[in-house]
């Protein structure tokens, strides 16, 4: 009997069936700049008109161990949104408009139903972000991944006029920091979150501890990352200066990434925002505040720096996303680049 690729663990027919399911999902995300559709060797996209000196901006990321929760619970519908969010939000902070997105889906054995649900989430994320899902890669890798495991990576390309690139060079002490709330953990710190919630606290996926307000542990850990494209479009006409996506490194390491030198520091007031229940639950197990701050977003998914004179206008524009003043830029004068009000009182 002839040996086939399927005998080695790779099912070409399953891959083709997945592509057939992906086509309508991709079509629903198209932008007018995109040429062609899913199925070619590469994707083609025009540069939008109206830009004097267009600069392409790229970002790539994954979902991390949040996938372990999806696999453990059999819930695969939202991790695709996380994948888009982690890439798009990084591109947004440069001032760029996300143009298109590609994904990489790798599995030990391709399950068309699971993969379709994941990629449907990616398409939904692209719709939220206003970018086109122009293609990607599906790889069946028996022996490299366990049979039911899969991994995700994403790639986003955006465009910005050179004169509008952020961060701007005119950051000064007194500039206001506006925080946009997160939806929870987003896609960072899940290894610690699972260890604390499942092992230290001994909670089941369907447990509903008081801190979660009626949601289950699975609900809280799988809540998708917010995509902030609409918020940035709302302040496009305002002279915002810089932004930081709060990912790995949390509130300690991400906000000061806007600085080109050590003249300024970030000063945040933790009393100005609400910490999500899932993070209060983690803290209840004995995780110290410094560790929480450098691991999680603690309820702030994005920080945006605006001139003090334009803070009220920015807050009004960001009201639908519950933007609020959470701090200011201050002279560094030595010490750490991120400070928290009350720590040295």
163-190: pLDDT as tens digits: 999 999 999 999 999 999 999 999 999 9
> Has residue 51 been placed in a domain?
yes
Residues 303 and 242 in one domain: yes
Q: What are phi and psi of 53, to 5 degrees?
A: -140, 80
| pLDDT attached to residue 344 | 55
Q: Which two tokens stand for residue 302?
A: 């994005």
> What is the pLDDT confidence band of residue 7, given thresholds at 50, 70 and 90?
low
11/127 same-domain check: yes
156 and 184 part of one domain: no
For residue 279, is it within any domain? yes
- Measure the CA–CA gap between 236 and 242, rounded to whole angstroms: 12
Q: Which residue among 129, 164, 199 closes a domain?
A: 164
Band of residue 6 on the pLDDT scale cut at 50, 70, 90: confident
The reply to whether 2 falls in a domain is no
pLDDT at 11: 79
φ, ψ (nearest 5 deg) of residue 197: -70, -45
Which tens digit of pLDDT belongs to each residue from 206-231?
999 999 999 999 999 999 999 999 99
Domain range for 145 is 7-164
Pair 20, 115 in one domain? yes
> What does the pLDDT average to over 71-99?
98
Comparison of pLDDT for 280 and 21, the residue scoring more: 280
Residues 159 and 180 in one domain: no
Residues 126 and 263 in one domain: no
Q: Are 192 and 280 in a shared domain?
A: yes
Residue with tokens 């000061």: 256
Cβ(66)–Cβ(132) below 8 Å: no
Q: Are residues 135 and 227 in the same domain?
A: no
pLDDT-derived band at 16 (thresholds 50, 70, 90) equals confident
- Residue 252 φ/ψ, nearest 5 degrees: -85, -50
The verdict on residue 132 lying in a domain is yes
Percent of the chain with pLDDT over 90: 87
More confident residue, 5 or 130: 130
Domain presence at residue 169: no
Report how far apart, in Å, the C-alpha atoms of 77 and of each of 134, 148, 179, 193, 306 are.
Answer: 20, 16, 28, 20, 36
Domain edge (last residue) among 104, 138, 164: 164
Residue 216 located in a structural domain: yes
What angle, 0 to 180 degrees and rounded to 10, lies between the N-to-C axes of helices 12-27 and 112-129? 20
Name, in order, each residue with C-beta under 8 angstroms of 167's C-beta and a sequence gap of 6 or more: 241, 242, 243, 258, 259, 260, 305
* pTM (two decimals): 0.95
pLDDT, averaged across the chain: 95
Q: Between these two residues, 12 and 29, which has the higher pLDDT value?
A: 29
For residue range 39-53, list pLDDT tens digits in order.
788 999 999 999 999
Work out the pLDDT band at 345, boundaries 50, 70, 90.
very low
In a shared domain, residues 219 and 145: no
Let me know if residue 171 belongs to a domain.
no
Q: Is the pLDDT of residue 146 over 50?
A: yes
Our count of domains for the chain comes to 2
* CATH number of the domain encompassing residue 204: 3.90.650.10
Both 46 and 100 in one domain: the answer is yes
Residue 1 lies in a domain: no
CATH number (domain holding residue 85): 3.30.1330.10
Domain boundary among 119, 139, 164: 164
Q: Specify whether 136 is located in the same domain as 183.
A: no
Contact (CB, 8 A) for 266 and 173: no
48 and 132, same domain (yes or no):
yes
> What beta strand segments (E) does the chain contain?
34-35, 44-45, 54-62, 97-107, 132-140, 150-161, 176-181, 242-245, 264-268, 300-306, 324-331, 338-340
């Amino acid at each position: 009997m002839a040996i086939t690729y399927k005998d080695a663990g790779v099912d070409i027919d399953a891959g083709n069936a997945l592509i057939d399911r992906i086509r309508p999902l991709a079509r629903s995300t198209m932008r007018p700049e995109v040429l062609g559709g899913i199925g070619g060797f590469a994707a083609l996209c025009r540069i939008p008109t109206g830009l004097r000196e267009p600069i392409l901006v790229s970002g790539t990321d994954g979902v991390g161990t949040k996938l372990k929760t999806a696999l453990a619970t059999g819930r695969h519908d939202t991790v695709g949104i996380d994948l888009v969010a982690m890439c798009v939000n990084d591109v947004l902070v440069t001032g760029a408009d996300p143009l298109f997105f590609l994904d990489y889906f790798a599995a030990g054995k391709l399950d068309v139903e699971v993969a379709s649900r994941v990629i449907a989430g990616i398409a939904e994320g692209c719709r939220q972000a206003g970018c086109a899902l122009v293609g990607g890669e599906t790889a069946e890798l028996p022996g490299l991944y366990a049979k039911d495991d899969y991994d995700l990576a994403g790639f986003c390309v955006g465009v910005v006029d050179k004169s509008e690139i952020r961060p701007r060079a005119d950051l000064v002490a007194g500039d206001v920091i506006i925080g946009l709330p997160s939806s929870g953990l987003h896609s960072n710190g899940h290894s610690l979150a699972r260890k604390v919630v499942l092992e230290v606290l001994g909670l089941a996926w369907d447990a509903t501890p008081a801190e979660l307000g009626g949601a289950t542990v699975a609900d809280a850990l799988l809540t998708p990352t917010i995509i902030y494209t609409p918020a940035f479009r709302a302040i496009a006409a305002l002279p915002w200066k810089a932004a930081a996506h709060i990912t790995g490194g949390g509130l300690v390491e991400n906000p000061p990434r806007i600085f080109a030198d050590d003249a300024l520091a970030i000063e945040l007031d933790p009393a100005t925002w609400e910490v999500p229940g899932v993070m209060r639950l983690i803290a209840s197990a004995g995780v110290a505040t410094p560790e929480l701050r450098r691991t999680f977003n603690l309820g702030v998914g994005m920080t945006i720096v605006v001139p003090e004179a334009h803070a009220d206008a920015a807050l009004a524009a960001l009201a639908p996303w519950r933007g609020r003043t959470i701090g200011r830029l201050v002279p560094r004068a030595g010490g750490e680049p991120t400070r928290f009000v009350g720590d040295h009182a």
